[in-house]
Copies of this chain bind each other. A is one copy, B any other.
Amino acid sequence: MGLPFDLLLAALREAALLESSAAILAWDQETMMPPGAVAHRADQLEQIAQLAHSLRTAPRVRELLAAAADDPRIAGDPHSPQARSLTEIRRRQERVDRLPADLVGRLAHATSLAQHHWAQARTAGDFAAFAPWLERIVALQREKAACLGASPGGEPWDALAEENEPGLTAAGFAAIFARLQPGLLALRDRIAASRVRPAPIDGRFPIAAQEAFVRFVAAQLGFDFERGRLDRSVHPFCGGSHPGDVRITTRYREQDLLDGLGSTMHEVGHGLYEQGLPEAAFGAPAGEAASLGMHESQSRLWENQVGRSAAFWRWAAPHARRHFPDAAEQLSESRLWHAANLVAPGPIRVDADEVHYDLHVAIRFELERALLRGDLPVAELPAAWNARTADLLGIAIANDRDGCLQDVHWSAGLFGYFPTYTLGNLYASQFWSAARAAIPDLGARIEAGRFAPLLGWLREHVHRHGHVDPAAEICRRATGSAADPAIRLRDLEQRLAPVYGL
């Protein structure tokens, strides 16, 4: 026997344990699973999702939740970690309780299959083949949003985004983006007017050597390979089941050294966050990531603030030359640094530079909002996508593969998700500014390949806090303010001005 709050955590841990098994199956699906297993895997994931849901919605959980309020640590101090955790548990429980187990199962089944059909449709550039799956997923998402109930005056998007970024609404994101967009466009125009044009790195970079190189970098950044893996997948991601079992993936293109490295550093950032969560609190808010925006701040900070800095390349360039002796003459520090900061519009979000990236997010945000409201029929998505891309990026999409089929997210049921990437960019800039202020010689340390001080700062100010408090609160405590587009724009300016001589 224990105190009710401890018993509640034990019950939630059981559900999280089962979900962590599904997470391994989902990782396996993207990295290892043979095609013959597609249908069976959907059945497996549906079953586990339903069983986990039934663990989360068991009457005993509700009883423990009610009893936990009387736990002396909670009743005696509404600001204790236990009390704040209970607030988060309640928020989540209210949502879970509104979802029928049947819908949870259908969603898991449909998204497992739809990802497979999306991948095939994307390879073929055949939107019509994917459209019925997307229709099914959108219908399921609308059904889910209806169960969850929108906030007063809200819209379906809000109910779904709440899962990824508690508290984020469509109106709230639109307001953030309205403050961000003019600055991004102005910076874009100044860069376009600059006479500096970084040369891309050309050549052939054998995949085996790239793999050795990015593994070396990942380990140096602090990724613990005893408690995680790095594999390949079509779309890089961070999965796994536990802080001791963190699985990141990346991809390689033989002609593009920076793509594989950037993808890896991005996922390493996610992985470091996961490996830094308090293991003993597995399944409790104290052991969970605070939000997807917070997660993305960690990936972006390592990918961008670190990975596109001159200091990083002063350290990394010699290692790059060592791994790719045949291309050594191209791999000078300044050339790599400039190439890593190339700003140019393009159709693909994951290839986008830091100035254009959030514009890609905005396109998806508008379109998924319309899909969920029912204002945009799935059949009209490609045309709407291409029109918005032309508007915002000045780019013509020739093939849906480079357009509305490029991202896995919607097939995976991830709606109300893309804007967390922009939020992550904002948080990353704020953490970076705060870490630089706290570690005065940070640049010199990075240049010396000493990443531990930065990782230590992130562990101390972000990772170890889990989700006891909301992401915005963690950010405020660490940086002095909530998500702030002005800080983001200042950080971008500081990173790009030296490259483009602005």
Contact = CB atoms under 8 A, between A and B. Distances in A.
Contact of A225 (B34, B226, B244): B34
Interface string A192-231: 0000000000000000000000000000000011111100
Interface string A10-49: 0000100110111011001000111111111101100110
Contact of A37 (B17, B36, B51, B241): B241
B36 A227 contact: yes
A30 to B, nearest CB: 13
Nearest to A225: B34
A36 B229 contact: no
Contacts of A41: 241, 245
A242 interface: yes
B227 A40 contact: no
Query: Number of copies of this chain in the oligomer?
Result: 2
Contacts of A242: 37, 40
Contacts of A37: 227, 241-242, 244-245
A393 to B, nearest CB: 39
Contacts of A32: 32, 229
Interface string A343-360: 000000000000000000
Q: Among the interface residues A38, A39, A43, A243, which one has the most CB atoms of the partner chain B within 10 A?
A: A43
Contacts of A34: 225-229, 244-245
Given A228-B36, A244-B34, A44 B20 contact: yes
B20 A40 contact: yes
Nearest to A51: B51
B47 A14 contact: yes
A229 B21 CA distance: 20
A229 B36 CA distance: 10
Contacts of A39: 244
A24 B243 CA distance: 20
Measured as residues with beta carbon below 8 angstroms from the partner, the interface class of chain A is: 35 or more
A241 B40 contact: yes
Interface string A46-64: 0110010000000000000
A228 to B, nearest CB: 6
Contacts of A35: 226-227
A36 to B, nearest CB: 3
A259 B37 CA distance: 30
Contacts of A245: 33-34, 36-37, 40-41
A229 B39 CA distance: 17
A14 B48 CA distance: 11
A24 B20 contact: no
Contact of A36 (B14, B44, B47, B226): B226
Contacts of A22: 21
A25 to B, nearest CB: 6
Interface in A376-429: none
A325 B34 CA distance: 31
A37 B17 CA distance: 12
Nearest to A37: B245
A43 B25 contact: no
Interface in A239-276: 241-245
A46 to B, nearest CB: 9
Contacts of A226: 34-36
Contacts of A43: 17
Contacts of A229: 32, 34
B244 A36 contact: yes
Contacts of A28: 24, 28
Contacts of A14: 47
A48 B21 CA distance: 9
A25 B21 contact: yes
A213 to B, nearest CB: 19
A224 B44 contact: no
Contacts of A36: 224, 226-228, 243-245
Contacts of A225: 34
Contacts of A40: 20, 241-242, 244-245, 282
A300 B70 CA distance: 64
A280 to B, nearest CB: 12
A53 to B, nearest CB: 13
11 contacts: A17-B44, A18-B48, A32-B229, A34-B245, A36-B224, A36-B227, A36-B228, A36-B244, A37-B227, A40-B282, A41-B245
Top-4 shortest CB links A-B:
A36-B227, A36-B244, A37-B245, A40-B242
Given A18-B47, A40-B241, A40-B244, 7 more contacts: A20-B40, A21-B44, A21-B47, A32-B32, A35-B226, A37-B241, A44-B241
